[in-house]
Amino acid sequence: MKVSLERQGINVVQLGLELETDKAIKAYEVACRQLSHKVNIPGFRKGKAPRNIIEKTLGIDYIKREALDRLVPELLSKVILDENLDVITEPEIDECKFELGQPLMLQARLEVRPEVTLGQYQGIQVNVPAAEMPEDALDRALKSIAESKASLKEVDSRKVAIGDTVVLDFECWVNGKLVEGGKAEGLILEMKEGNFLPNFCEQLVGKEPGTNCDVNATFPAEYRNKELAGKDAQFKVDIRGIRERFVPDINDELAKVVGAESLGDLKDMLKARMDEEIRQENEARSQRAVVDGIIANAQVEIPETMVERERELLMGSLRQMVEQNGQSWEQFQQEPEYEQIGGAKRDEAKQRVLTSLVLGAIVRAEKMSVGDEEMAPYLAEVAARYNVPIERVIGREDIRRQVMEELLTQKVVEYLVGQANVQFIKDERPVEECSHTDCSHEHK
């Protein structure tokens, strides 16, 4: 077999392959024998029909396709193994010539992992802005728990005020016509400026339960119902009652409601939980800082094809989330911020590809691997999550590969952080710049 390899661009290899005539004929004959066991040919038992009868029954082109379906993957796998090619996608067949009595000619494109030149990755020094628990964090957590246990209680007749919760009926009219679906009974509405529609709640202030009133409001231009967007509306409102929000005191009784023995016990539980969150946050920050430092020391040219595939995956996840929220993808694509989101996803995709390439190069340089024993609990977790037998999960090569890649990433990041000199420093950044979203990192 003759093989030629030609580099094209950053990470594409053009493969030329010529298989000797006798080997091509042998593959064709094997396909004939296999097909003879599968088809019923009058006058012959299965597997006993001669080649010319099989050719007459099925056609030479059909038999050649069967032969190629088995032969081509075998040939490509052999070339990839023999030439030590780090292929990252399925080969694309550009041309295949298979004529009986002639050599098999094959042209294919292989996308391979781009070469990464690693700089220093062991023992790098990084300064990490340390996450610290704010002094009032415990008080805010207790207040949040109390707020979550707040209840609404009906109050004696008085005038509506901002901060109340009102129970009301209404009809919505636009251009003198009742809007389809524009009626509500027993609507519970929190009185906040701008709530429901701009300037709606404000017009209810000072009204008393049992009274009827008209409220004029304008639907926002970006309102989800395009037929109402930007239009003026008149609401005929019947205020049925006022409910006031009561927040319980922060004491032993509240603590017992949420499963603690006392207020002191609840404080200890909250502090332990917050300390663990800070520990995890600082661990994530140190991982991100170390990985970023190592990436900055490396050199790699990122293929646009890899970035685009990763971007499509991210956009696919976004589409799934959008549709789960009840919005059509086509409608979302018309939103003003769609182009900006698409650009952000592309930047994210590029960073993810870069991180994957550099960490992968370190995995290979350090000859890291993941054994079956390490994968077993994670595969069992997948089986439990989807309520399927563990044997089905173990037999899925795609799941095994995904679990292996995640474990390798986890292993290499832990190794790099363990080798690094991490110095925690005071975080001088504004609060909005060091949120959990910005500082945490999911390694791919």
For 363-404, the DSSP string reads HHHTT----HHHHHHHHHHHHHHHT--HHHHHT-HHHHHHHH
Rounded Cα gap, residues 287 and 290, in angstroms: 5
Tell me which architecture the domain covering 262-439 has in CATH. Answer: Orthogonal Bundle (1.10)
Q: Say if residues 128 and 286 touch (Cβ distance below 8 Å).
A: yes
Q: Say if residues 168 and 191 touch (Cβ distance below 8 Å).
A: no
Specify the CATH superfamily of domain 2-111. Answer: Trigger factor ribosome-binding domain (3.30.70.1050)
Q: What is the pLDDT of residues 90-134, one digit of tens each?
A: 899 999 999 999 999 999 999 999 999 999 999 999 999 999 999
Q: HSE-up of 125 (CA within 13 Å, CB side)?
A: 2
- Element at 217 (helix H, strand E): strand 212-218
What's the CATH code, domain 151-246?
A: 3.10.50.40
Give the DSSP letter of residue 107.
E
Q: Say if residues 39 and 32 touch (Cβ distance below 8 Å).
A: no
Give residue 430's pLDDT band: very low, low, confident or very high (50, 70, 90): low
Pull the structure tokens for residue 184.
């509500």
Burial of 386 (0-12, 13-18, 19+ CB in 10 A): exposed
Q: Say if residues 314 and 348 touch (Cβ distance below 8 Å).
A: yes
Does the structure show a pLDDT above 70 at 435?
Answer: no
Give residue 427's pLDDT band: very low, low, confident or very high (50, 70, 90): confident
Q: What is the pLDDT of residues 182-210, one digit of tens each?
A: 999 999 999 998 899 999 999 999 999 98
User: How much is the pLDDT for 49?
Assistant: 84
User: How much is the pLDDT for 268?
Assistant: 96
Q: In the chain, where are the structural domains located?
A: 2-111, 151-246, 262-439
